[in-house]
Amino acid sequence: MQFRTRAIHVGQDPCPQTGAVVQPLHLASTFCQHEAGVWREFDYSRSGNPTRKALETTIANLEGGAGALAFASGMAAIHCVTAMLKSGDHVLAGSDIYGGAYRLFHKIMNRAGVTVTLADSTSVDAMAAAITPATKLLWVESPGNPLLSVCDYAALAKLAHSRGALLGCDNTFATPVLTRPLELGADIVMHSATKFIGGHSDVLGGLLAVREKPLLDELYFVQNATGAVMGPLESYLCSRGVKTLELRVREQCRTAQSLAEWLAGRPEVERVYYPGLDTHPGHAIAARQMDGAFGAMISFEVKGDFARAKKFCESTELFKLAVSLGAVESLIEQPASMSHASYDAADRKKHGIADGLIRLSVGLEALEDLRDDLEGAMSKSR
């Protein structure tokens, strides 16, 4: 079956009791047992919940893994991965990663004696050079945040495995519609389900999909022991979102491609970061690794300083000034003051996050309206 068919049907059988075509929302925290000490499939909702299980079944199928786990947020999902690590272990992360992942690695995991190094994940050589005997996990994101850098998952999976480490990929920006890292050799795929999977800016959630059963079991153990599971209502909303995921993503990508090309031709714009432009250094890898489209995220630098970029972000009307991404409504933000404010200023500079950088999440509005909105902001912020 094709992706969009599986997104609607796998894990989403009609309710056997009533025939309801939509899975019921199971709010129960606990489940009756037949016999003391002999557990039925569900016993307590932290350990397992039918509504959550329906979503996990769909995601495991779409990502092509042994299974999936749903969490209260994307950060809870990443934290579950890092909670498998021990004091003395080392994480090698790409430099173009989500600000919250940066903060978790540098400001929380360090307390448990886990060290982290950032390296340019677009260069397999740079990543190879930064691996140490203690490296247990490579953590990368493609397209990366906020510079939309593209890394080669297949090459990085080979590298990680040759050095005894796991490869974890934050697939939030690409979604399984465009990229399926497990098929390319990655061990763990992570999503902020808050973004494209939910798709409507009304749910917070995280997901892990895992290639092999033993690692899945280990992550499940950590999840159940630490408790940051996705709630039933959120699971229900994510399952609803997934059903239209492919249609939304493909349409949002189409609009994003046109907007990126338009921005690249504007005199007010210094540079555009979008993997679908053939001037993007990762375009060739993206064309191979992403299925027919390049994502709905665009970053660009306006000519001028921090203040001009700030003014620009405050001047759009349809693009709402907000962090987050991937939903039906378009959003705009300034990474230096918003999504990546948790980076140290020096690291931000080192990793190319300029003060004039602006990030767009392209939604489902009409291309013409979004273009007019950006054009309006260009004149207002002049």
Ligand X SMILES: *Cc1c(COP(=O)(O)O)cnc(C)c1O
Comparing CB distances to ligand X, the nearer of 202 and 369 is: 202
Q: How many residues does the chain have?
A: 382
Comparing CB distances to ligand X, the nearer of 23 and 194 is: 194
3-class DSSP state of 61: helix
Find residue 118's DSSP bridge partners. Answer: 93
Place of tokens 């000034």: 321
Which of 81, 174, 186, 204 touches ligand X by CB under 6 A? Answer: 204
* Residue number with the smallest Cβ distance to ligand X: 74
Find residue 116's DSSP bridge partners. Answer: 91
Catalytic-role residue among 52, 98, 136, 355 = 98
Site string for ligand X, 164-203 (x = CB under 6 A): ------x-xx------------------x-xx--------
Concerning whether 195 is annotated as a catalytic residue, the answer is: yes
Residues of span 30-89 touching ligand X by CB under 6 A: 73-75
Concerning whether 102 is annotated as a catalytic residue, the answer is: no
**142 interacts with ligand X by CB under 6 A:** no
Which of 50, 176, 181, 206 touches ligand X by CB under 6 A? Answer: 206
Dump the DSSP string for 241-285. Answer: HHHTHHHHHHHHHHHHHHHHHHHHT-TTEEEEE-TTSTTSTTHHH
Q: Which helix (H) or strand (E) holds 153?
A: helix 153-162
Catalytic-role residue among 4, 6, 46, 311 = 46
Residues of span 93-132 touching ligand X by CB under 6 A: 98, 100-101
**Assigned token pair, 70:** 């749903």
E strands, the chain, are: 67-71, 90-94, 115-119, 135-141, 166-170, 188-192, 206-210, 269-273, 297-302, 320-321, 331-333, 357-361
* Number of neighbours of residue 12 by Cβ within 10 angstroms: 19
Concerning whether 46 is annotated as a catalytic residue, the answer is: yes
Shortest distance, position 242 Cβ to ligand X, whole Å: 15
**145 interacts with ligand X by CB under 6 A:** yes
Comparing CB distances to ligand X, the nearer of 65 and 74 is: 74
Catalytic-role residue among 89, 96, 170, 373 = 170
Catalytic-role residue among 52, 195, 211, 359 = 195
Shortest distance, position 120 Cβ to ligand X, whole Å: 18
**153 interacts with ligand X by CB under 6 A:** no
Comparing CB distances to ligand X, the nearer of 176 and 315 is: 176
- Neighbouring residues of 255: CB distance < 8 A, sequence distance ≥ 6: 296, 362, 364, 365, 367, 370
Comparing CB distances to ligand X, the nearer of 138 and 269 is: 138
Q: What letter represents residue 197's amino acid?
A: I
Residue count, binding to ligand X (CB under 6 A): 17
Residues of span 311-370 touching ligand X by CB under 6 A: 325
* Number of neighbours of residue 164 by Cβ within 10 angstroms: 10
* Number of neighbours of residue 156 by Cβ within 10 angstroms: 26
Comparing CB distances to ligand X, the nearer of 12 and 73 is: 73
Place of tokens 């329906």: 54
Residues in contact with ligand X by CB under 6 A are 73-75, 98, 100-101, 141, 145, 170, 172-173, 192, 194-195, 204, 206, 325
Give the active site residues.
46, 98, 170, 195
